[in-house]
Structure 1
Amino acid sequence: MDVDAFVLAHRPAWDRLEYLVKRRRKLTGAEVDELVDLYQRVSTHLSMVRSASSDSVLVGRLSGLVATARAAVTGAHAPLWHEFTRFWTVSFPVVAYLSWRWWLGSAAAFFLVAVVMGVWVAGNPEVQATVGTPSDIAELVNREFASYYSENPAGSFALRVWINNSWVAAQCIGYAILLGLPIPYVLFSNAANLGVVGGLMFDAGKGDVFLGLLTPHALLELTAVFLAAAAGMRLGWSVVSPGDRPRGQVLAEQGRAVVSVAVGLVVVLLASGLIEALVTPSPLPTFLRIAIGVSAEVAFLAYVIHFGRKAASAGETGDVDDAPDLVPTG
C-alpha cells in the first residue's frame, strides 16, 4: 500500500467524519445518515491500514476517530453487565492463557529455589544456626507455624492474608513499570523464605504438618503470584522485543493486559485468603483440606484454559474494545 496516496485519497472523509462527530448533537437527519456511512467506511480504512502499514501515527489517529465515531453512532457505552461478562470470559482468562510460558517459568524457578534452599537448610546445622537459636527454631516448628493459622478470628485473619498476598502480587504488577526487572528478586525472596521454613520443619520431622497446613491455600495463592509475575515480566519483555509492531503499540496493549490481571487477581487472592482462614486451620482431616485446595486450583486452571483458549482462538488478546494503539504522550 502506498500510504501517502491512501491518506491523500481518504483524508477528506476522515476530516468530514471528525467534523460530524464534533457536531453530533446538532446534526440533521441527512447528516446522521452520513455519519453512519462514514463511520463504516473509516472503520474499513483502519483495518486496511493496520494490516498493510506500520505507520503508528496514522493507525493511532484512525483508531481514536473510529472509537469516537462509534460512541456517537451507538449513543451509549455497552451495558455494564456486558463489560463484566467480557472481562471474566475474555479479558482476564486470555491474558492468563497467553502468558503461560512466563507463568510456568516463574513457577519452575520458584520451586527450584525453594527446594534447593530447603535441602540446604535441613542438612546443615551451621546454616540453621544463622537462622535462629535452637530455642527459636524449636518454638517455630513446634508451635508458631501451626498456631499462625488459628490464633486469630477467621474474619480478621482472612482480611490480613488477603492484604498480604495482594501486596506480593501488587509488587509484581507494580514492577512492570520498571520493565519487570525487580520481579525475579521478589520471587527469589519469597521462595527462599519458604525453603528455609520448609527445611526447618522437615529437619524436625514436621514435614507432614508443613505440607498439610500449606498445601490447601498455597496452591491457588502461589498460582496467583506467578501469574502476576508473568504479566509484569511479559510487559517488560515487550519493550525489549516488540516484534514487527511499533513498540508503543505493543507496550500499550501489554500495559492494559497487566491491569486486567491485577483486577482479576483481587478475586483469586480473596478466594485463596478464605481457604487459608477457613479451611487450613479447620478440624477437617488433612486429606480433605488438601483436596479442597487441589479442587480450587484445578477449577481455576480449567477456567483459564477453557475461556483463555477459546478467546485466543478467536483472535482476542484481552485488550479493551477500540483501544487506542499508542501510549498517550500528553
Structure 2
Amino acid sequence: MTVAPASAATGSNRFREAREEEWRRLEAILATAERKSVRALSDEDLLALPVLYRGALSSLSVARETSLDLELITYLEGLCARAYFFVYGVRTSAWSRAATFFGRDWPDAVRSLWKETLIATLLLVVGAVAGALLVGADPVWYHAFVPAELANGRDFGAETAFLRDTLYGAEEENGLGVFAAFLFTHNSQVAIFCFALGFAFGVPTAMLLVYTGAMLGAMMTLFASRGLALEFGGWVAIHGTTELFAIILAGAAGLRIGWAIVFPGDLPRLAAATKAGRMAATAMAGVVLMLFVAGLLEGYGRQLITSDIVRYMIAGTMLLVWAGFYYLPRRRTA
C-alpha cells in the first residue's frame, strides 16, 4: 500500500524524461510564433510543428489514461491548446477580418433578409399612414403616439413660430456632442428591441415597427397642419434615411428569428433559431454602425445645416450609399 505512490511518482518521472525534450522544443516554437509570427519560424520548425503537436496529444492521452500527476496533465493540456491554434487555426489580421466583414459578411447578411426587410418596411409605412390619418381626424391621438418627453412641447397647442424654430434653431455648440450621444443611445435601444423581441414569434417586433411609423406619421401631420411639411421632411430625412433604414433592418433581423421559430422546417426549433440568429446578428452588428452614423447626422448635421435643399441632398446621398453598399452586385474573390 505504501509503495504505490512512489511507483506512480517514478512512472511519471520516467514518462516526463522520455518526452520532455519534444515538449520543450514545441514550447520554444510556439513562444517564437506567439512573440513574433509564424513567418519567423524556420522551415525545419514549420515541418516539426504538426509532428510535435501530435506527439504532445499522444502524451496527454497516455497521461490521462494512466492517471499521472495532475500538474503534468495540466501542462500538456495548455501546451496542446496553444499548438492547436497554430496548426489548425485561421490566422488573419484585424484589418483582414474587418475587410471581410465590411466587404462580404455584413452586406450578405442584409441581402439574405430581403423578404423580411420588405415586410418591415411595409409595417413601418402602414404605421405612418395610420398615425397620420388618426391624428388628422382627431388631434387627441397625437399624444397616444408621441411621448411627452419626445414631443418636448411640439404638439397641437404650440405656436407655428415655435415649431419652425425647432426645425432650424441651432443648439449650443458645446452641447451637440451630448445631444448626439443621447440620440444614438435612444435609436440604438429602438433597433435592439426590434431585434431582441423577435424571439416572441416576431409579434412584438411587428408592433414596435408599426408604432415607430405611427409616431413619425403623427409628427408629420402636426407640422403639415402648420404648412411645415417640406421643412419637417428635410429635418427628419437628413438622418432618417440612415436611422429608419437601420431600424427596418433590425426589425427584419427580429422577424427572421421569429419566422424560424414558428416555421423551423426540417430543423429542430432551437437549431433553426440558432441558424437564423447567426445571420441576423451579423446584420445587427452593421446596424449599430448605421445608427452611429445616424446619431452624428442627427446630433451635428441637422443642427448645423439649416438649408432644406442641402438636408434633402444629404438624405438622398446617404440612402443611395446604403442601398448601393447592400444590394449592388460585387466581384467575389476566391
Q: TM-score range by the shorter chain?
A: 0.5 to 0.7
Q: 2:95 aligns with which of 63, 81, 100?
A: 81
Contact 1:180/1:235, CA 8 A, preserved across alignment:
yes
Give the letter aligned to residue 208 of structure 1.
Answer: L
Alignment of 1:192-207 (within 5 A): 192-207=214-229
Q: Cα distance 1:142–1:114, how it changes in 2: closer, same or farther (>3 A)?
A: farther
Query: How big is the shift at 1:169?
Result: 0.6
Q: Cα distance 1:141–1:250, how it changes in 2: closer, same or farther (>3 A)?
A: farther
Q: Cα distance 1:263–1:141, how it changes in 2: closer, same or farther (>3 A)?
A: farther
Query: How big is the shift at 1:104?
Result: 1.5
Contact 2:253/2:284, CA 8 A, preserved across alignment:
no
Query: How big is the shift at 1:30?
Result: 8.6
Q: Cα distance 1:181–1:115, how it changes in 2: closer, same or farther (>3 A)?
A: closer
Query: How big is the shift at 1:76?
Result: 5.8
Is 1:94 aligned with 2:108?
A: yes
Percent identity for Structure 1 against Structure 2: 25
Question: 1:262 corresponds to which residue?
Answer: 284
Three-state SS of the structure 1 residue aligned to 2:156 is helix
Contact 1:146/1:213, CA 8 A, preserved across alignment:
no
| CA–CA separation in structure 2 for the residues paired with 1:269 and 1:229 | 14
Alignment of 1:118-137 (within 5 A): 118-124=132-138, 127=141, 137=156
| CA–CA separation in structure 2 for the residues paired with 1:95 and 1:196 | 33
Query: How big is the shift at 1:173?
Result: 1.9
Taking only aligned residues, the RMSD between alpha carbons, in angstroms, comes to 3.6
Give the letter aligned to residue 297 of structure 1.
Answer: L
Three-state SS of the structure 1 residue aligned to 2:245 is helix
Query: How big is the shift at 1:129?
Result: 9.3
Q: 1:151 aligns with which of 171, 177, 189?
A: 171
Residue-by-residue CA offset, 1:175-206 (whole Å, 9 max, x unaligned):
13434331112112212211211112112222
| CA–CA separation in structure 2 for the residues paired with 1:262 and 1:91 | 11
Q: Cα distance 1:146–1:236, how it changes in 2: closer, same or farther (>3 A)?
A: farther
Query: How big is the shift at 1:162?
Result: 0.8
Query: How big is the shift at 1:124?
Result: 3.6
Query: How big is the shift at 1:130?
Result: 8.1
| CA–CA separation in structure 1 for the residues paired with 2:52 and 2:262 | 44
Provide runs of 4+ in structure 1 moved above 6 Å.
Answer: 28-31, 128-132
Give the letter aligned to residue 198 of structure 2.
Answer: A
Alignment of 1:229-244 (within 5 A): 229-244=251-266
| Length-normalised TM-score, structure 2 | 0.66
| CA–CA separation in structure 1 for the residues paired with 2:253 and 2:113 | 7
| CA–CA separation in structure 2 for the residues paired with 1:109 and 1:135 | 25
| CA–CA separation in structure 1 for the residues paired with 2:271 and 2:95 | 28
Residue-by-residue CA offset, 1:214-253 (whole Å, 9 max, x unaligned):
1111111100000000001101111222233454443222
Q: Cα distance 1:191–1:86, how it changes in 2: closer, same or farther (>3 A)?
A: same
Q: Cα distance 1:160–1:130, how it changes in 2: closer, same or farther (>3 A)?
A: closer
Q: Cα distance 1:154–1:128, how it changes in 2: closer, same or farther (>3 A)?
A: closer
Structure 1 unaligned residues grouped into runs of 5+: 1-22, 37-67, 315-330
Structure 2 unaligned residues grouped into runs of 5+: 1-22, 28-44, 55-81
Is 1:174 aligned with 2:200?
A: no
| Length-normalised TM-score, structure 1 | 0.66
